[in-house]
Every structure is written in C-alpha cells, then in structure tokens.
Amino acid sequence: MKLVLTLLFFTTSWVVAQAAEAVPRLPAGYSLELVASAPMVTSPVLCVWDGNGRMYVAQWQAGLHDSATKNATCSVVRLEDTNGDGLMDERTLFASNLTFPRMILPLDDCILIGESHTNDIFAHRDTDGDGIADEKTLWYQGGSREGHIFEQPSGLIWAIDNYIYTTRNDFRFRFTNGQVIKENTLPNRGQWGLTQDNYGKVIFCDAKSGPVHWLFPHTYTDWFPHRALENGFQKLPLSNSFTATCGQAVFRGDRLPPDFQNNLVFSDSTARITRRARIDYDAMGRPEMRNFYPGSEFIRSADPHFQPVNAATGPDGTLYLIDRQGNRDQKAKTGRIYRLRHQNFKPGPRPNMLNETSTQLAIHLTHPNGWWRDEAQKLLVLKNDRSVIPALRKLLFTHKNPLTRLHALWTLEGLDAIEPDVMKAAFDDTDPHLRAAMIRIFEPYFLAESDALLSLTDLTREKAHQVQTQLLLSLSRIPGEKSRAIAGAVLANDRQNTFLKELDQHLTRRTKINQPVK
C-alpha cells in the first residue's frame, strides 16, 4: 500500500512566525529561510539530494542516551518541494527502523545508507515509485562496529577523483561496474561531516581541533604545520577553543555572493555558532585558514536549542544548514532545515538528471554550481556509457571554464578513457589545477613502470605551487633514486621555497617509516 504523507501546512504566515523565533544573527544581506521543520522533520542530522533534487534527511528521533542500546527507531525521510515555492511540502518515510543513520549517498538507482554500530552499508531501492524503499541489499559488508556514537564514520561522499570517502576509516571505496572495491588509505581524524572543495580536496573536521586534512589530500600525508591556521583561529567568543566542531561544507554554489565561493563553513554545535573561513595562499603556496569575520562568527544564536550539526551546497545554488534543535539527553521532537539566502540572489531551478541522457548530463559539467557538476560526473561514471566520451573530450580540449575541463578530465578517468592526447592536453593546460590532477591520474602508470617517471621531468620546471606540491606528494608513493632525483629537481627549480622543502622533508621521513599508501 502506497504510504505517502503529504503535509501542506506551510502557510506563509506560519513560516514567518516560526522563523522569527530566536532568529540567529547573520551579516547584513544574509538571511536564513526555513524550508522544513517539525513535524516535517524531527531531529535532522544531515541532508543530501538525488539527481532529481529530492532531499533525503537522516533523523535521529531516539534520544542519544539510547545510542549504546543500538536503538533501531530512527529513519531517513524524503522531502520535496512540489509547487516550486522553496518550501518542502511533501514528506515520505523512505527508510525506517534504522539505528542512528549517519551516511547517505544517492547513486543512480538506489540510496546508500550507513547506520551506527556497523560498518555495513546497504543499498535501499524504491522499486514501485511510491517513494518508500521496498528493497534493501548489502552494498558493502564491513561487520559490526563498537564505540561511542560520535566516534563512528560519517560522510560517504563521491569525490571528484571517483573515490567514495568516509571519516574514521583508513580506507576508501571505488564503485566500478557494479563492484565495490575497498582501497587502503592513511587514517583520518574526521568525525561528523565531510566535504570537498572545487578541486576535489576532501576536508575533514575534528570536534576539538576544527578542520583537519585540508592542506593536502589525506591519502598522502597528515602533515599539518602550525602556521596553517591564523593566530586565534580555534578560539570562540565565549571559549578558549572549539568543543564540538562538525558539519563542514565548502560552498560551491552560484546563488550567494562570489566571495563566498570555495569558502569553508562549519559549526560548533555546543557554542551555537557557524563559522565561515577562507584559505589564503602565499607566494610559496603555503596555505593559511582564516576566520572571514575576525573576532566574530558568521552565524550566532542565543537560542539554547539551536544546534547546527551539518551544512551542504544545494542543487538550487544556496547553502543549507541543519539545526538538530535537540537536547542530547532527550528524545528530540523538533528540528529545522534552513536555506541561507542573500538579498541579491534567488535560488536556482530543480534538476531532473535521473531522467536525462548521457549527452544531457555532460552539459551539466559546465554548470556554475558545483553540486550539478559533481552529480553529473557521478551519474556519467555510474552509467558507464562510453558514447559520451567524444563530448567529454571536447569539453576538456575546448571549454573556457577550467572547472568544466577538470570535471571532464576526471569523468574520462572514471570511464577509463585517459588516452595519450588527453594526458597531453591536461599536462599542457593553462590552469595548474588541471596539470596537478593529471599527475594524480598518471600515478598508476609510474607506480607500475618506474621509467615513466622520466616523462614528468619537464614538470619539474613548474612554478605553480599546485603542480609543485602534487609532484612531491605523488613521488612520495614510490621511494627510490629516480623519484628522489625528480623531487630534487623540483626543489632546485625553486630554491627559495622553504615550504616545499618542509613538505619534502616530512614526506621523506614518512616513507622511511611507513609503506607508501596505494
């Protein structure tokens, strides 16, 4: 029996009245627009969207004191805006009887959900189109997992390199031709939340330290020089340090001011704040993360129930903020999902990607909203439709936007279509991020055939710090005389760059202690 709960109680006056209660403080021009609240959602902890723009929300209705008992009373709901007014008006109970769901990843024909107290991941399918999952199959078998509710994996994001990442684990996944491949990585310090920037750098968050593993892809190194954070970055107005940072998101949309692009947003749920940070690079490529509002915060609230726990760039090009609004010791019956708006921008249209052809999906790689580019790339790789390869090659060879060319390159990698002319085009690209990405893609060649390292020697004359650092990172995977000679040439080409020398020294020490990550 089809069971769809459609709630049409969001009148304009009701929404305004609800949003006016204990409104969080924001900078001029910005506002938080309420898109869903109880009983539409109760105790939300994360939200994601499928290719058609339908929102999937993990709910922790059970009290956190029940988490040790593995209480299977939580759920994932699907929310939709059916009339285009920006408010969620249709709610479907997609999956129920879950144990504190903490990871959701929409694929093409299913929704992956990871629960607490297990490393297993299940694929949930709605086979009859009623919005309710009626088929549940094991996607990855990882076995049981013990530990505190806040010390278990989260994330499950499909990154630009076509790997799927989680927090708290020393591995990642590759999903190819229906097969799940587990690949070992370095461990990470991530806790709740996971995100990537425009160039595919996966960024984690540690509750007490804030953002971690954001300097380099964590698969290479966990090196974190003390100069990477500005002085006082970890201090809060009412506290000497972070206590519960979580829910980070790199904003990659197109419906907020341009200076918000590629900024990192994360919250401290205990302090009831959301911070906006930017990353600046000096001439040597040394990064420094800075608070966008020194001495203050992007969002602040005096409401004791305000508990921001997650954020995400949405299909409409805005930023969504999850407010759990819960007391950790009680069963939550409240919760809100906000859309961050700016007075000069309107949210964009809803996607329809699950019903589109590969050719149509390829066009979305040109979209200014990173959510659209990510989703289109993921669906193209899942389709494995090689007829789209000529269109992808054309984007790589001719498109003016370097982000479009970057996604075209990684989509070709996901389709196993990296030919010599593709490699040359990427290595010769005017944008250093393309050249750095091609070095990463090229790794399997010189990992298997050391003589292939010689083809990288021209890159040692690079001055772009993105290329210099990626060369050193990639070379660290294959310690030996040839790789050390090339690394030495990189350093000799920029003798005044002390940051590169520090990085090389760290990587060299690490390879002497540990086997390279594969």
What length is written for the chain? 518
448 to each of 211, 442, 451, 477, how far by Cα in Å?
A: 34, 10, 9, 11
CB 11 within 8 A of CB 19: no
Facing residues of 290 across strands?
278
pLDDT tens profile 221-237: 988 887 899 999 998 87
pLDDT of residue 325: 86
pLDDT of residue 13: 35
Range with the lowest mean pLDDT among 5-19, 143-157, 382-396?
5-19
Residue 480 DSSP SS3: coil
State phi, psi for 174 to the nearest 5 degrees. Answer: -125, 125
**Average pLDDT, stretch 434-445?**
94
Q: Which of 442, 466, 456 is nearest to 199 (CA)?
A: 466
> Could you tell me what percent of the chain has a pLDDT over 90?
77
315 to each of 37, 54, 198, 364, 391, how far by Cα in Å?
A: 20, 9, 15, 12, 23
Structure tokens at 463: 């001055």
Q: How far apart are CA 357 and CA 385, in angstroms?
A: 10
Q: What is the CA radius of gyration of the chain?
A: 23
Residue 481 DSSP SS3: helix
Mean pLDDT across the chain = 90
Q: Containing H/E element for 406?
A: helix 402-414
List alpha helices for 428-494, DSSP H.
Answer: 432-448, 465-475, 481-492
pLDDT of residue 17: 37
Q: How far apart are CA 69 and CA 65, in angstroms?
A: 8
Residue 330 has pLDDT above 80, yes or no: no
Structure tokens at 347: 């949210």
CB 343 within 8 A of CB 31: yes
Residue 27 has pLDDT above 70, yes or no: yes
User: Domain-by-domain residue ranges, the chain?
Assistant: 5-342, 358-513
Q: How far apart are CA 123 and CA 106, in angstroms?
A: 9
Facing residues of 246 across strands?
267
Structure tokens at 300: 């602040």
Structure tokens at 433: 């991020």
For the beta sheet containing 135-140, the strands, ordered from the edge strand earlier in sequence to the opposite edge, are: 135-140, 121-125, 111-114, 103-106, 155-158, 164-166, 171-176, 179-184
State phi, psi for 299 to the nearest 5 degrees. Answer: -125, 130
**Average pLDDT, stretch 61-78?**
78
Residue 489 has pLDDT above 70, yes or no: yes
pLDDT tens profile 361-390: 999 999 999 999 999 999 999 999 999 999
Cis peptide before 39 (omega within 30 of 0): yes
Query: DSSP letters along 149-218, please?
Result: GGGS--EEEE-TTS-EEESS-SEEEEEETTEEEEEE-------S--EE-TT--EEEEETTTEEES-SS-T
pLDDT of residue 5: 35
Residue 518 DSSP SS3: coil
If one looks up domain 5-342 in CATH, what number appears?
2.120.10.30
Number of other residues whose CB lies within 10 A of the CB of residue 129: 7
Number of other residues whose CB lies within 10 A of the CB of residue 518: 11
Facing residues of 179 across strands?
176
Q: Which residue has the higher pLDDT, 8 or 446?
A: 446
Q: Which of 14, 87, 105 is nearest to 51 (CA)?
A: 105
**For residue 498, how many C-alpha atoms fall within 13 Å in the half-sphere facing its CB?**
3
pLDDT tens profile 177-190: 899 999 999 999 99
Structure tokens at 50: 């499928």
Q: What is the pTM of this model?
A: 0.92
pLDDT of residue 85: 86
Q: How far apart are CA 459 and CA 464, in angstroms?
A: 10
Residue 65 has pLDDT above 70, yes or no: no
CB 74 within 8 A of CB 60: yes
Which residues are CB-contacts of 207 (< 8 A; sequence separation ≥ 6)? Answer: 150, 191, 192, 242, 243, 244, 245, 246
Give just the sign of the alpha carbon dihedral 138, 143, 147, 153.
negative
pLDDT of residue 14: 35
CATH 1.25.10.10 for the 358-513 domain, yes or no: yes
CB 76 within 8 A of CB 56: yes
Structure tokens at 304: 């004791």
Q: Which of 342, 367, 316 is nearest to 256 (CA)?
A: 342
